[in-house]
Amino acid sequence: MATRTVVEGVTLERRRRFSETYFGEWVMTTDHKKLGIMYIVTAFFFFLVGGMEALLVRTQLAVPDGKVLNAEQYNQVFTMHGTTMIFLFVMPILVGFGNYVVPLMIGARDMAFPRLNAFGYWIVLFGGFFLTSSFLFGQAPNAGWFSYAPLTELTSNCGPTAVRCTPDLNMDFWALGILMLGISSISGALNFVVTILKLRAPGMTINRMPLFTWMTLVTSFLLLFAIPSVTAAALLLLLDRHLGTHFYQAGAGGDPLLWQHLFWSFGHPEVYILILPAFGMISEILPVFSRKPLFGYTFVAWSGVAIGFLSFTVWAHHMFAVGLPPVAQAFFATSTTLIAIPTAVKIFNWVATVYGGKLSFKVPMLFALGFVAMFLIGGLNGVALAVVPFDYQVTDSYFVVSHLHYVLFGGTVFAVFAGIFYWFPKMTGKLLNERLGQIQFWLMLIGVNLTFFPMHILGLLGMPRRIYTYPGNLGWNELNLLATIGAFIIAVAILVFLWNFIITLRSGEPAGDDPWDAFTLEWDTSSPPKPYNFLVLPVVRSRRPFYDKKNPETADWKTATH
Amino acid sequence: MAEEQAQSKQVRSKQRRLAAVEETSGPQLSYWPFVLAVALMIAFVGIVIHPILLGIGVVLTAVAVIGWGLERR
């Protein structure tokens, strides 16, 4: 546990060790801030990899009878796009923000288990290399990010007749890669739970915790309960493939639906694992740029807990089309609709936070507002998908692709950029260029809607997901071309960001310690913070401890009852 | 001028060798997390490619776990 006392003043002179070289510092570090940055940089690298895969997919589909990729290459590229974006970009980047920000927010000097933290990072990095290296063998995973059995089995008993399923290494890479990344998720989640429950600053009760910390805590519990399910699924798949068991083979007494139940009982909580920390970021950013405390803190916090619980009761809405009994369909349709309530509670509270505030439309605020709008679209068409007869019509169509991208790109990725622009000054001591940030935001907003909105219509017109080409007489041509143009606009936006990142690191405007006049404890440190974070641990008396410190006359603790 | 440059070079080199106490106040550095992750990756690659690699990975994993456990904190 990182509980050493800080002593300043004395210096020792000796030879430098490997750990004091630039390279050694990063390889051996157990500092949560360095690891946070490493997570974020690594995740962003995989974002670029996944983004290039997306561009390949969209280029292939831009016109009918596309010839950029053949069927097998297309299968590998779209599978790795989904796998990379979910497991190697969104999850690690949110863990990266959690790593960097949570200990600072709660007034701790580090995570509870610093070495476990470092291990979690290295496993993500090597797991990512392992998964991506499958392209070098020409055998990247090719059964979609949810890898349905029995398609993922070897050759025998994979259907009514013995046909070839996936005899090569493709699914071995996927299953083993997921196992590796699962180890990282579990270690990270344990670390967050212990850190948040045990290392909070004096006075920071659970009801005074910043919302990002709250949502990281909920997400960590989701990970602890959801990851074992996909781990078990992947292990059973490996046993089927290599040791002759038949867990998913109907022809030998197994049940292919077992995969779907195991996968989705991980997969739907996973959606909330990917979005709850984003909710937390937005709940931090909107109040700061509205110059108000968050409206309905308690509701926002506990609605996150409600979402966490409910997320384990909705998995089979992904399986309506397999022929579930009506009672099961009714149950899962109801629970899915129910989860919209706590989600809407958050959205109403965010709107109420912004309403009447002194708004400052800096780039983090733009992305946060963009998040609310885009996530709302993704949420509403998600509720539509909970309606069983409608789901029958559009299941496995581009409507679903549109829904998940509005949630994960319009939602989480916008929140991630809001977070990057918001906390970058703390991490580096420099402010990202505002003008370039605005250009990036508007390009992304246009690009996202141009790419993903036409997919609603494509889905309603019957375009199935995962087809590698289509004939030109189905009325899909213009919409597909629009979606591809949108994808390239998003790519330009990302290039603008990379340019902004480079010029800021070279010659960015100094940020100071508190460039946004923020409310939470991470801003009560230098930018970047010292290795020990706080020389003296802060004492917390309200939900906005740094605001209290800066404004003793109007401190929250003088009026608030929490 | 050359003397001054040499002197400032000496000072910079000396500064680089200085280890501030505040650096030692955080969690200790460790290479075992890195080694354990490498070992696990070798084992996983071994599962896909060759049993010998798997064996090396398992041995390295055991070494890393023991090293981690015995590391002075």
Q: What is the pLDDT, as a whole number, of residue B19? A: 45
- Residues of chain B with pLDDT > 70, as a percent, come to 63
Secondary structure element (H or E) that encloses residue A313, with its range: none
Distance CA A414, CA A366 (A): 9
Overall average pLDDT of the A142-152 stretch:
91
Chain-chain contact of B26 with A115 (C-beta, under 8 angstroms): no
Query: At A509, phi and psi to the nearest 5?
Result: -70, 130
Return the structure tokens found at A91: 């999850």
- Which of A83-87, A154-158, A550-554 has the highest average model confidence (pLDDT)? A83-87
Q: What is the pLDDT, as a whole number, of residue B36? A: 97
The model's confidence at residue A12, banded by pLDDT at 50, 70 and 90, is low
User: Could you tell me which chain B residue has the CA closest to the CA of A133?
Assistant: B45
Distance CA A300, CA A408 (A): 20
Span A22-77, pLDDT tens digits: 888 899 999 999 999 999 999 999 999 999 999 999 999 999 999 999 999 999 99
Largest CA distance in chain B: 63
User: Could you tell me which chain A residue has the CA closest to the CA of B41?
Assistant: A126
Q: Which long-range contacts (CB under 8 A, 24 or more apart) does A333-336 make?
A: A333/A386, A333/A387, A333/A388, A335/A310, A336/A382, A336/A383, A336/A385, A336/A386
**B interface toward A at CB cutoff 8 Å?**
14, 16-23, 25-34, 36-38, 40-41, 44-45, 47-48, 68
Distance CA A93, CA A417 (A): 11
Three-state secondary structure string covering A220-238: HHHHHHHHHHHHHHHHHHH
Overall average pLDDT of the A345-363 stretch:
97
User: Could you tell me which chain B residue has the CA closest to the CA of A139?
Assistant: B48
The model's confidence at residue B59, banded by pLDDT at 50, 70 and 90, is very high
Overall average pLDDT of the A422-428 stretch:
97
Overall average pLDDT of the B12-25 stretch:
50
DSSP-based three-state secondary structure for A13: strand
Distance CA A414, CA A407 (A): 10
The model's confidence at residue A156, banded by pLDDT at 50, 70 and 90, is low
Minimal CA separation from B65 to chain A, in Å:
11
Distance CA A489, CA B17 (A): 49
Q: What is the pLDDT, as a whole number, of residue B5? A: 64
Q: What is the pLDDT, as a whole number, of residue A352? A: 97
Span A205-233, pLDDT tens digits: 999 999 999 999 999 999 999 999 999 99
Contact yes or no for A2/A32 (Cβ under 8 A): no
Chain-chain contact of B68 with A12 (C-beta, under 8 angstroms): no
Distance CA B53, CA B43 (A): 6
Distance CA A445, CA A439 (A): 10
Contact yes or no for A193/A218 (Cβ under 8 A): no
Percent of chain A as helix, strand, coil, to the nearest 5: 70, 0, 30
The model's confidence at residue A5, banded by pLDDT at 50, 70 and 90, is low
Give the strand pairing for A509-510 and A430-431: antiparallel
Q: Specify the residue for token string 């080409």.
A: A469
Query: Which residues of A are designated catalytic?
Result: 81, 110, 145, 184-185, 268, 270, 272, 283, 317-318, 343, 346, 465
Q: What is the pLDDT, as a whole number, of residue A21? A: 86
Q: What is the pLDDT, as a whole number, of residue A267? A: 95
Overall average pLDDT of the A123-130 stretch:
96
Q: Which of residues 16-35 of A touch B (CB under 8 A)?
A: 16, 19-20, 24-25, 27-31
Half-sphere exposure of A117 (CA within 13 A, CB side): 33
Distance CA A200, CA A188 (A): 17
Higher pLDDT, residue A9 or A68: A68
pLDDT at A158 over 90: no
**Is the link from the previous residue into A528 a cis peptide, with omega within 30 of 0?**
yes
Q: What is the pTM of this model?
A: 0.92
Least confident range of A112-121, A222-231, A233-242, B5-14: B5-14
Which of A191, A250, A178 is closest to A220 using CA atoms?
A191
| Residue of A117, A122, A130, A241 to mutate for B, most B C-beta atoms under 10 A | A122
Distance CA A262, CA A268 (A): 11
Return the structure tokens found at A57: 């997919």
DSSP A261-281: HHHHHHHHHHHHHHHHHHHHH
The model's confidence at residue A165, banded by pLDDT at 50, 70 and 90, is confident
Minimal CA separation from B52 to chain A, in Å:
17
pLDDT at A524 over 60: yes
Secondary structure element (H or E) that encloses residue B68, with its range: helix B51-70
User: Could you tell me which chain B residue has the CA closest to the CA of A119?
Assistant: B33
- Residues of chain A with pLDDT > 90, as a percent, come to 87
Distance CA A133, CA A135 (A): 5
pLDDT at B18 over 50: no
Higher pLDDT, residue A562 or B24: A562
Secondary structure element (H or E) that encloses residue A523, with its range: none
| Residue of B16, B48, B65, B70 to mutate for A, most A C-beta atoms under 10 A | B48
Span A292-344, pLDDT tens digits: 999 999 999 999 999 999 999 999 999 999 999 999 999 999 999 999 999 99
pLDDT at A6 over 70: no
Q: What is the pLDDT, as a whole number, of residue A11? A: 62
Span A236-290, pLDDT tens digits: 999 999 898 999 988 888 999 999 999 999 999 999 999 999 999 999 999 999 9
Quote the mean pLDDT of chain A.
94
Overall average pLDDT of the A396-418 stretch:
97
Q: What is the pLDDT, as a whole number, of residue B21? A: 47
DSSP-based three-state secondary structure for A464: strand
Half-sphere exposure of A167 (CA within 13 A, CB side): 6
Contact yes or no for A196/A217 (Cβ under 8 A): yes
